[in-house]
């Protein structure tokens, strides 16, 4: 089973309905234990509220002075012997990576997990250029074999079952015995390890993302549990970092603050197994490490968020907590969002990256329950930012005409309480006339509601009808 | 002197369950207040949550004007109370006239259980010894920070309150979300219904009719599940109306 | 040029030009020195003994194996005992530890970066962080970075005196003599939960992390 993959964010509702009907996906979504583990980790950190406030303030400070910190970062990378590539959009970022790959003659590129790489469509571009990308994070490797996008920003293959993975390994690892047992996670992990090990040494280019970029030193910080990101960057002759411009923090100590929140919010660990700070290429006396160091800095729509309240979205440290606590994501997984980033953070980010027209359904697909904002370690008010997009959608008349008409009609009535009461009175009468046994199984204008629910009928004439007839009209 | 309390009926209660408003009136009256129901339509959430800020402002002005003269405003709904207390001040943040008026109103506006538990404590009449499970609305929990109040009142009425295993599940109603994404809304309701039913409670109660319509609507579609009522009905003595969605 | 375009968009959105000199200077001061850290209680310790105990407890909770060794000369024999048969082939060794008598413990070591087929590598950490139970490894001529990731068994020697309280202290220790090209905090063996959220050890990096805490500071 592949889950339901939207062709793009515009396809959200169709893909969401298909995802609801996919039993394998539903089973996989039931396995998500991140929320529980996060709760335990946060409960063990009494200073969490203060750390969260400090982290939000830190990111806000950086964003308010981002131009300055970016310039200082670039200068520090160059001073350490690295190269910075400033990229306006996905195309220029891809071109920068391909330029580096061609210059170093890479035939294969190992890749640590990078959502920025996903965002710019890096694998497809490398393949088209004749350079074989090899994902080394196990989850990313699995979905690369399946030719699927990630379904979760920290657990990209979480929609796959063990049997799915076994099937993919049988289909792709053809030099292995066909009848070998692949019925345990340990066996599958070991096979992936054996297959991927040689790749690190032969790759001409090692590509990683960055969890944080350090302005003072020009460093890229990555966190992993597998160690794949470290093998990728330590063994390749060229280390290339792909990262959004919002990853900047001033100093290494600032990364320490965010590290205290990141893993706890993501997987419930106090800290990931590996946290690596990479600063420039191999130095004069170093016996190993990459000989060249490149940083591809990506805007790709991020600066468009910086002019108003949506700037807070750029605080995001990609922990995935909002996905893990979202009732909508919990029902459908990440693919129906039709974009690199699913769940609440993607519902705010994708319209900036993909355009509001294509992504107009995403900010609407929320009950505004508020759990995402509540668990966000950098206090991004995600529902408020979705509402911000809804304001723009409405202003630009991107919402469906029948929704606009219904809203306009309702508004006309709501502004005229006398007419409003008459309309409610009529609706009450009509619904009661159609009701059987206290509810309706079909109703005009409520077809969507009654497909999966009955519509409880009004118990009698509207409140204001009864109140007035009781002589209580104010 | 008895405080004058304005009742914001809410549009769902007005249309679907007038008993809730009448019960709320009696409960607030029992605290010694004088309850008044001024001319009103809706709090403006449909406009506010669908991108029509201008429309939301127009309606919010109506509500501010209609309710600012009262000592307190009581709302039998967490999301409408959250709209008034949490979102009106933001809506009028830069409005020199309505900003201060909205903030004053926000400070005096309470969700019903909040009012009956914290502001004007009520001893409800003893009800039947039922086991109930409370569904918290997300607005109540996160915008108003309430939840304890409903349990306190239910306990005072002699009910046994049981808790669901998974904390704070959204019911999937979400205002217009429930008709824009009906399949998702029903699927989320399904998960909530299962955890509510698993408690074995005799009755599901809540303080937001939107959530309760969604939950009762899903139980009705599945053809089972415990009866569902608004908390005001239970606190007001033996309910006369059938449970939500039943006859 | 994209650089100017990006900086220009940021400034336009923030409705200002380049930072005023005073603001730029304030940012540069922020770059030159970190503000006071907000340290959680789990990064604060009454004394060395509590700090050491927390480090040992949190490191082993992360799946690492830990041995206390009284002095450096005892390290090779302890490593040999811990590795058992896995210590028979030639082992990778950080040149920083080349002065120890490995041969006397029956171990064959190859100082330098990791080579394929080495079952284990022995390296030296610059610090250990009690807050997280992590060892801090800095790359350099004496401590090649590949030793940390390639072999199946990673043996890390750490002076008990080099234990520090917090992440900030750990970074500080690593850069005390200038920022190394790479700093890695390691809290246990490599692992993954990417298949059905089941935790499996030994994903890509070492399957075992063995830490030798050398010296008896803090009891």
C57 near A CB under 8 A:
no
Letter string b/e over residues C33-48, b meaning 16 or more CB atoms within 10 A of that residue's CB: ebeebbbbebbebeeb
Q: What size, in residues, is chain C? A: 219
Q: How far is B38 from chain A (nearest CA, A)?
A: 6
Q: What percent of chain C has pLDDT over 90?
A: 95
Chain A residues inside the 8 Å CB shell of C121: none
Q: Return per-residue pLDDT of chain B as tens, 247 residues.
A: 899 999 999 999 999 999 999 999 999 999 999 999 999 999 999 999 999 999 999 999 999 999 999 999 999 999 999 999 999 999 999 999 999 999 999 999 999 999 999 999 999 988 888 999 999 999 999 999 999 999 999 999 999 999 998 767 899 999 999 999 999 999 999 999 999 999 999 999 999 999 999 999 999 999 989 999 999 999 998 888 999 999 9
Examine residue B218 and state whether it is found in any structural domain, yes or no: yes
Are A286 and A147 in a shared domain? Answer: yes
Q: Among A298, A317, A351, where does a domain finish? A: A298
Q: Among B91, B118, B145, where does a domain finish? A: B118
**Listed residue (C171, C86, C168) closest to C121, CA to CA:** C86
Superfamily of domain C42-214: NagB/RpiA/CoA transferase-like (3.40.50.10420)
A333 near C CB under 8 A:
no
Are B50 and B77 in a shared domain? Answer: yes
Q: What size, in residues, is chain B? A: 247
Chain A residues inside the 8 Å CB shell of B11: 424
Chain A residues inside the 8 Å CB shell of C182: 234, 276-279, 289
Are A287 and A412 in a shared domain? Answer: no
Number of domains making up chain A = 2
Asked whether the beta carbons of B172 and B184 are under 8 A apart, the reply is yes
Asked whether the beta carbons of A114 and A295 are under 8 A apart, the reply is no
For residues B149 and A404, give the distance between their C-alpha atoms in angstroms, rounded to a whole number.
38
Report whether pLDDT(C219) > 50: no
Count contacts between A and C (CB, < 8 Å).
252
- Among C41, C141, C192, pick the best mutation site for testing chain A contact (most A Cβ within 10 A): C192
Examine residue A334 and state whether it is found in any structural domain, yes or no: no
pLDDT digits (tens, 9 = 90+) for C129-142: 999 999 999 999 99
Max CA-CA distance within chain A?
A: 94
Q: Return per-residue pLDDT of chain A as tens, 474 residues.
A: 445 788 888 899 999 999 999 999 999 999 989 999 999 999 999 999 999 999 999 999 999 999 999 999 999 999 999 999 999 999 999 999 999 999 999 999 999 999 999 999 999 999 999 999 999 999 999 999 999 999 999 999 999 999 999 999 999 999 999 899 999 999 999 999 999 999 999 999 999 999 999 999 999 999 999 999 999 999 999 999 999 999 999 999 999 999 999 999 999 999 999 999 999 999 999 999 999 999 999 999 999 999 999 999 999 999 999 999 999 999 999 999 999 999 999 999 999 999 999 999 999 999 999 999 999 999 999 999 999 999 999 999 999 999 999 999 999 999 999 999 999 999 999 999 999 999 999 887 776 899 899 999 999 999 999 997 764 544
Element (H, E) at C98: none
Does C contact B via 3+ CB–CB distances below 8 Å? Answer: no
Cβ A54–C38 below 8 Å, yes or no? yes
Examine residue B66 and state whether it is found in any structural domain, yes or no: yes
State the Cα angle at B205 between B203 and B207, rounded to 5°: 170
Are B98 and B36 in a shared domain? Answer: yes
B38 near A CB under 8 A:
yes
Cβ C149–A307 below 8 Å, yes or no? no
Are B19 and B87 in a shared domain? Answer: yes
A303 near C CB under 8 A:
yes
Q: Among A264, A298, A332, where does a domain finish? A: A298
Cβ A403–B18 below 8 Å, yes or no? no
Q: For residue C3, give every residue at least 6 positions away whose Cβ sits within 8 Å of its Cβ, in sequence order, or none.
A: A74, A86
Chain A (2-41) residues lying within 8 Å, Cβ to Cβ, of chain C: 28, 31-33
B70 near A CB under 8 A:
no
Chain A residues inside the 8 Å CB shell of C148: 230, 234
Are A104 and A236 in a shared domain? Answer: yes
Q: How far is A436 from chain B (nearest CA, A)?
A: 8
Cβ B187–A20 below 8 Å, yes or no? yes
A231 near C CB under 8 A:
yes
Examine residue A358 and state whether it is found in any structural domain, yes or no: no
Chain A (225-264) residues lying within 8 Å, Cβ to Cβ, of chain B: none
Chain B (150-179) residues lying within 8 Å, Cβ to Cβ, of chain A: 168-170, 172-175, 177-179
| Residue A78, domain CATH | 3.40.50.10420
Examine residue B244 and state whether it is found in any structural domain, yes or no: no
Is ipTM > 0.85 here? yes
Examine residue A276 and state whether it is found in any structural domain, yes or no: yes
C117 near A CB under 8 A:
no
Examine residue B110 and state whether it is found in any structural domain, yes or no: yes
A164 near C CB under 8 A:
no
Q: Which residue of C lies nearest to A93 if distances are taken between CA atoms?
A: C2
Give pLDDT, residue A468. Answer: 79
Are B111 and B132 in a shared domain? Answer: no
Examine residue A194 and state whether it is found in any structural domain, yes or no: yes
C197 near A CB under 8 A:
yes
Q: What is the DSSP string of A369-427?
A: --HHHHH-TT---HHHHHHHHHHHHHHTT-S-HHHHHHHHHHHHHHT-HHHHHHHHHHH
Examine residue B246 and state whether it is found in any structural domain, yes or no: no
Q: For residue C76, give every residue at least 6 positions away whose Cβ sits within 8 Å of its Cβ, in sequence order, or none.
A: C100, C101, C102, C104, C105, C107
Chain B residues inside the 8 Å CB shell of A20: 183-184, 187
pLDDT digits (tens, 9 = 90+) for B116-133: 999 999 999 888 889 999
Tokens of C49: 């003994």
**Listed residue (C123, C119, C112) closest to C148, CA to CA:** C123
For residues A80 and C208, give the distance between their C-alpha atoms in angstroms, rounded to a whole number.
33
Chain A residues inside the 8 Å CB shell of C93: none
Tokens of C60: 């082993």
Q: Quote the DSSP letter at residue A380.
A: -
Q: A292-298 and A238-244 as β-strands: parallel, antiparallel, unpaired?
A: parallel
B94 near A CB under 8 A:
no
- Domain hosting B130: range is 123-235
Are A143 and A261 in a shared domain? Answer: yes
Q: Quote the DSSP letter at residue A210.
A: -
Residue from the list C27, C149, C194 with its beta carbon closest to the beta carbon of A234: C149
Mean pLDDT computed over every residue of chain B: 95
Give pLDDT, residue A3. Answer: 57
Chain A (439-458) residues lying within 8 Å, Cβ to Cβ, of chain C: none
- Domain hosting A436: range is 401-469
Are B109 and B128 in a shared domain? Answer: no
Number of domains making up chain B = 2
Residue extents of the structural domains in chain C: 1-33, 42-214
Chain B (202-241) residues lying within 8 Å, Cβ to Cβ, of chain A: 213-214, 216-218, 220-221, 241
A148 near C CB under 8 A:
no
Give pLDDT, residue A470. Answer: 62
Q: Which residue of B lies nearest to A415 if distances are taken between CA atoms?
A: B59
Cβ C200–A281 below 8 Å, yes or no? no
Examine residue A231 and state whether it is found in any structural domain, yes or no: yes
Q: Quote the DSSP letter at residue B96.
A: T
| Residue B220, domain CATH | 3.40.50.1860
Are B13 and B99 in a shared domain? Answer: yes
Examine residue B242 and state whether it is found in any structural domain, yes or no: no
For residues B152 and B157, give the distance between their C-alpha atoms in angstroms, rounded to a whole number.
9
Q: How far is A146 from chain B (nearest CA, A)?
A: 27
Are A282 and A406 in a shared domain? Answer: no
Examine residue B68 and state whether it is found in any structural domain, yes or no: yes
A172 near C CB under 8 A:
no
Q: Among B92, B118, B144, where does a domain finish? A: B118
For residues B14 and B8, give the distance between their C-alpha atoms in angstroms, rounded to a whole number.
10
Give pLDDT, residue A75. Answer: 98
Cβ B14–A451 below 8 Å, yes or no? no
Does A contact B via 3+ CB–CB distances below 8 Å? Answer: yes
C132 near A CB under 8 A:
yes
Asked whether the beta carbons of A281 and A81 are under 8 A apart, the reply is yes
B182 near A CB under 8 A:
yes
Q: Among A298, A314, A342, where does a domain finish? A: A298
Alpha helices in B84-130 (DSSP H): 88-91, 98-108, 112-114
Residue from the list A71, A189, A231 with its beta carbon closest to the beta carbon of C149: A231
Q: Among B118, B144, B169, where does a domain finish? A: B118
Chain C residues inside the 8 Å CB shell of A307: 12-15
Chain A residues inside the 8 Å CB shell of C14: 64, 67, 306-307
**Listed residue (A163, A232, A165) closest to A199, CA to CA:** A232
pLDDT digits (tens, 9 = 90+) for C169-195: 999 999 999 999 999 999 999 999 999
Are B43 and B132 in a shared domain? Answer: no
Q: Label residue C167 by pLDDT band (50, 70, 90).
A: very high
Q: Which residue of C lies nearest to A254 if distances are taken between CA atoms?
A: C34
Only one residue has tokens 């996670």, namely A185
Measuring CA to CA, how many Å separate A269 from each of A144, A438, C62, C99? 26, 50, 9, 37
Cβ A417–B40 below 8 Å, yes or no? yes
Cβ A256–C167 below 8 Å, yes or no? yes
A432 near B CB under 8 A:
no
Neighbors of chain B by Cβ distance (3+ pairs < 8 Å): A
3-class secondary-structure state, position A294: strand
Are B24 and B60 in a shared domain? Answer: yes
Residue from the list C42, C175, C200 with its beta carbon closest to the beta carbon of A186: C200
């Amino acid at each position: 089973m592949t889950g339901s993959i939207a062709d793009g964010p515009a396809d959200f509702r169709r893909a969401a309905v298909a995802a609801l009907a996919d039993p394998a996906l539903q089973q996989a979504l039931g396995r998500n234990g991140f929320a529980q583990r996060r709760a335990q980790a946060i409960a063990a950190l009494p200073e969490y509220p203060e750390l969260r406030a400090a982290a939000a303030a830190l990111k806000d400070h950086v964003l308010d002075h981002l131009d300055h910190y970016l310039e200082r970062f670039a200068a520090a990378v160059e001073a350490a012997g690295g190269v910075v590539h400033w990229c306006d959009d996905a195309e220029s970022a891809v071109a920068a990576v391909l330029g580096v790959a061609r210059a170093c003659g890479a035939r294969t590129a190992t890749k640590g997990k990078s959502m920025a790489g996903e965002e710019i469509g890096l694998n497809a571009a490398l393949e088209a250029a004749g350079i074989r990308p090899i994902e080394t994070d196990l989850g990313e490797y699995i979905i690369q074999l399946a030719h699927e996008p990630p379904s979760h920003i920290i657990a990209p293959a979480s929609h796959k079952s063990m049997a799915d993975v076994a099937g993919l390994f049988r289909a792709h690892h053809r030099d292995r015995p066909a009848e070998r047992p692949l019925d345990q996670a340990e066996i599958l992990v070991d096979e992936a390890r054996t297959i991927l090990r040689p790749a690190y040494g032969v790759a001409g280019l090692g590509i990683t993302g960055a969890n944080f970029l350090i302005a003072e030193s020009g460093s890229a910080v990555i966190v992993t549990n597998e160690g794949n990101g470290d093998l990728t960057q330590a063994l390749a002759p060229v280390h290339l970092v792909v990262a959004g411009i919002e990853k900047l923090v001033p100093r290494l100590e600032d990364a320490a603050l965010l590290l205290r929140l990141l893993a706890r919010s993501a997987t419930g660990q106090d800290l990931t197994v590996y946290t690596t700070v990479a600063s420039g290429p191999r130095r004069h006396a170093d016996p190993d490490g990459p000989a060249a160091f490149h940083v591809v800095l990506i805007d790709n729509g991020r600066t468009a968020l910086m002019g108003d309240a949506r700037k807070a979205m750029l605080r995001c440290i990609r922990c995935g907590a909002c996905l893990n606590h979202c009732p909508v994501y919990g029902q459908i997984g990440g693919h129906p969002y039709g974009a690199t980033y699913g769940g609440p953070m993607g519902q705010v980010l994708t319209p900036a990256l993909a355009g509001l027209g294509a992504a107009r359904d995403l900010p609407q697909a929320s009950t505004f329950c508020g759990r995402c904002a509540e668990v966000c370690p950098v206090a991004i008010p995600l529902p408020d930012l979705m509402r911000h997009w809804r304001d723009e959608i409405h202003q630009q008349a991107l919402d469906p005409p029948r929704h606009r008409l219904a809203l306009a009609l309702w508004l006309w009535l709501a502004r005229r309480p006398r007419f409003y009461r008459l309309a409610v009175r009529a609706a009450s009468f009509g619904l009661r006339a159609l009701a059987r046994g206290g509810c309706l199984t079909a109703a005009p204008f409520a077809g969507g509601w009654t497909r999966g629910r009955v519509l409880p009928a009004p118990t009698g004439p509207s409140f204001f009808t009864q109140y007035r007839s009781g002589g209580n009209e104010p | 002197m008895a405080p004058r309390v304005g009742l914001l009926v809410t549009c769902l209660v007005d249309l679907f369950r007038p008993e809730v408003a009448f019960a709320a009136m009696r409960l607030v009256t029992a605290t010694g207040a004088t309850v008044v129901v001024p001319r009103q339509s809706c709090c403006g959430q449909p406009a506010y949550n669908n991108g029509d800020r201008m429309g939301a402002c127009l309606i919010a002005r109506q509500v501010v004007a209609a309710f600012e003269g009262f000592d307190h405003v009581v709302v039998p709904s967490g999301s409408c109370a959250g709209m008034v207390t949490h979102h009106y001040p933001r809506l009028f943040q830069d409005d020199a006239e309505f900003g201060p008026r909205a903030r004053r109103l926000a400070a005096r506006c309470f969700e019903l259980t909040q009012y009956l538990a914290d502001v004007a404590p009520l001893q409800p009449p003893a009800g039947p010894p039922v086991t109930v499970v409370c569904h918290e609305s997300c607005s109540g929990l996160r915008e108003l920070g309430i939840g304890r109040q409903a349990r306190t009142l239910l306990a005072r009425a002699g009910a046994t309150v049981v808790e669901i295993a998974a904390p704070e599940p959204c019911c999937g109603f979400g205002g217009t979300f429930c008709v824009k994404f009906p399949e998702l809304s029903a699927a989320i309701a399904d998960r909530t219904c299962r955890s509510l039913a698993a408690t074995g409670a005799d009755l599901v109660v809540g303080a937001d009719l939107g959530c309760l319509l969604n939950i009762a609507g899903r139980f009705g579609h599945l053809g089972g599940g415990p009866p569902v009522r608004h908390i005001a009905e239970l606190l007001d003595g033996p309910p006369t109306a059938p449970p939500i969605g039943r006859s | 040029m994209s650089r100017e375009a990006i900086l220009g968009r940021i400034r336009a959105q923030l409705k200002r030009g380049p930072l005023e000199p005073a603001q730029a200077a304030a940012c540069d001061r922020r770059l030159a020195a970190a503000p006071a850290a907000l340290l959680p209680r789990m990064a604060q310790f009454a004394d060395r003994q509590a700090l050491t105990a927390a480090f040992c407890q949190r490191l082993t909770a992360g799946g690492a194996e830990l041995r206390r060794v009284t002095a450096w000369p005892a390290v090779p024999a302890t490593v040999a005992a811990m590795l058992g048969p896995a210590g028979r082939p030639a082992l990778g060794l950080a040149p920083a530890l080349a002065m120890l008598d490995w041969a006397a413990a029956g171990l064959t070591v190859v100082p330098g970066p990791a080579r394929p087929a080495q079952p284990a590598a022995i390296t030296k950490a610059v610090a250990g962080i009690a807050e997280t139970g992590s060892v801090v490894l800095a790359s350099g001529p004496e401590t090649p970075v590949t030793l940390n990731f390639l072999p199946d068994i990673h043996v890390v020697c750490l002076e008990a005196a080099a234990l520090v309280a917090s992440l900030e202290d750990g970074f500080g220790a690593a850069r005390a003599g200038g920022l190394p090209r790479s700093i890695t905090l390691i809290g246990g063996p490599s692992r993954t939960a990417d298949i059905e959220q089941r935790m499996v050890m030994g994903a890509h990096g070492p399957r075992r992390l063995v830490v030798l805490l050398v010296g008896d500071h803090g009891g």
